[in-house]
Amino acid sequence: MRVLENLEPAAVFGCFEEICRIPHTSFHEKQISDYCFNFARERGYDAVQDEMGNLLITAPATPGYEEAAGVIIQGHMDMVGDKLPDCPIDMEKDGLDLFVDGDLIGARGTTLGGDDGIAVAYALALLEDKTISHPHLEIVLTVGEEVGLIGASAMDLSACKGRRLINIDSEVEGILTVSCAGGKRAKCLIPVKREVKSGNVYRIILRGLLGGHSGIDIAKGHANANLLLGRFLLMLRKRTGFSLISLEGGAKDNVIPKDGEARILLCDDAAQALAETEKQFAEEMRAEFGKADPDICLKTEPEGAQETAVLDEDSADRVLMALNLMPNGVQAMSMDIEGLVESSMNMGVAKLGETELEMHISIRSSVSSAKEYMAEKVVRLTELLGGTTEFSGDYPAWPFARESQLRDLCVEVFKKQYGKEPAVEAIHAGLECGILAGKVPGLDCISFGPDQYDIHTPNERLSISSVARVWEYLRGILAAK
């Protein structure tokens, strides 16, 4: 028996559960792309799959809608793969372990991928249900959205006839998103040298952070595990000398890291200094993050006397400077829209290898010059620390359009269904609308979606009732003439 078998709308949840059975983290979308391609072709629709796995599926207008303006339904097939430390699921090979808790759907131990699996489920359900009235439809499903919108950037949309695009990649029902930030990714490599030393090895374990989406959640005050590890080590250095063996935190650059670990080597008489630093750190975290991130937990575990390769003193200094001095979090608030983050940075991954420290940073801004200025800061600081920076996944902001027939239509349909005005907002997270609008002249875009919570984390949940309401809303928009 399927976990979501008795949920309505059955077509949507049936498709969503099937999607969740197929591994589809970023860079591993071939299976899900093939599934959606075959799904469309088996039902008689034209479908084109490019070399990356992006899909363009065409559905002709239903009777009576031949003259209506064509609509593009758009979402992405990849998901952020994050899990709890003790979860045995291999997210590149295994399906998800779904469960239902009241009105919520989750996945045990892992992210759920409602971002953006629900868009794919809606799209496939539109193809499945022949009773739905709609104009000429073009379904655009992309790959690599979570790693820099690379699928949308590469996709050829010259064959698209529609000039209205509904992006289903927003996470709060009742909000129509009409603008978003642009962004780019930075990979910083700082070389290090090692030497062999003997002493007592300790493992430093940081857990319990909330983490979250580096765009949507960046202003919530959630702590960054990579920065906290660097901060703890800096505090320890003020009390006693130590050598750094390893450090690793975070999973993706667009996810606020929620855990991390380091291993250090201490001399024989430094255990008391370590215990005192651990106590001080706990007190400071409670004072600073008691409401925003209340369950931060750092503990140290002895691993005994060892002889091992550690960073030399200069390398350790540069690693600590990188972790403590790299800009992170909200950098500027919008001067035009109250409460909107304009610019931010997130050190999503920090990993100390044998010969280099590798950091992955997500840079976001709704102002192009501010985005480039933050990127320049990353380059200059990394150079000062003896390293190099590579950039990828550069995508433009989606600017607000003063006039939009699609927005006006969506507002009217919303008022009829919900009996109230929707919120019309800009967001700090990145959406593919900006890229796609640059590829299709005159494209009129909007984004909405059902309620989702704690996306990009193993606490991710999707509201069943909201999925049903947004499904009716989507059908209402397509049926309107």
For 115-131, the pLDDT digits (tens) are: 999 999 999 999 999 99
Query: How many CB atoms within 10 Å of residue 362?
Result: 25
- Please state the rounded mean pLDDT for residues 150-177: 96
* pLDDT for 410: 98
How much of the chain, in percent, has pLDDT values that exceed 90? 93
Q: Helix, strand, or coil here: 234?
A: helix
* Cross-strand pairs, 198: 307
What DSSP designation does 145 have?
G
Catalytic residue, candidates 116, 145, 169, 293: 145
* pLDDT for 46: 97
168 pLDDT more than 90: yes
All domains of the chain, ordered by start, with CATH?
A: 10-181+397-479 (3.40.630.10), 184-395 (3.30.70.360)
- Helix, strand, coil fractions of the chain, as percent rounded to 5: 30, 30, 35
Compute the distance between CA of residue 357 and CA of residue 368 in angstroms, rounded to an integer: 28
The answer for residues whose C-beta is within 8 angstroms of residue 89's C-beta and 6 or more apart is 83, 96, 97, 109, 110
In terms of pLDDT, which residue wins out, 399 or 391? 391
Whether the pTM exceeds 0.85: the reply is: no
For 89-117, the pLDDT digits (tens) are: 999 999 999 999 999 999 999 999 999 99
* Residue 269's pLDDT band (cuts 50, 70, 90): confident
Compute the distance between CA of residue 129 and CA of residue 184 in angstroms, rounded to an integer: 39
First-residue to last-residue Cα distance in the chain: 40
For 187-240, the pLDDT digits (tens) are: 999 999 999 999 999 999 999 999 999 999 999 999 999 999 999 999 999 999
* pLDDT for 338: 86
- Please state the rounded mean pLDDT for residues 261-279: 92
The answer for residues whose C-beta is within 8 angstroms of residue 410's C-beta and 6 or more apart is 176, 422, 446, 448, 477
* pLDDT for 399: 87
Catalytic residue, candidates 17, 18, 29, 78: 78
Residue 50 annotated to the active site: no
* Residue 344's pLDDT band (cuts 50, 70, 90): very high
For 10-66, the pLDDT digits (tens) are: 999 999 999 999 999 999 999 999 999 999 999 999 999 999 999 999 999 999 999
* pLDDT for 481: 77
How much of the chain, in percent, has pLDDT values that exceed 70? 100
Residue 354 annotated to the active site: no
* pLDDT for 107: 98
- Please state the rounded mean pLDDT for residues 445-464: 96
Cα dihedral 283/288/289/291 (nearest 10): 110
Q: Are 432 and 149 in contact (CB under 8 A)?
A: yes
* Residue 401's pLDDT band (cuts 50, 70, 90): confident
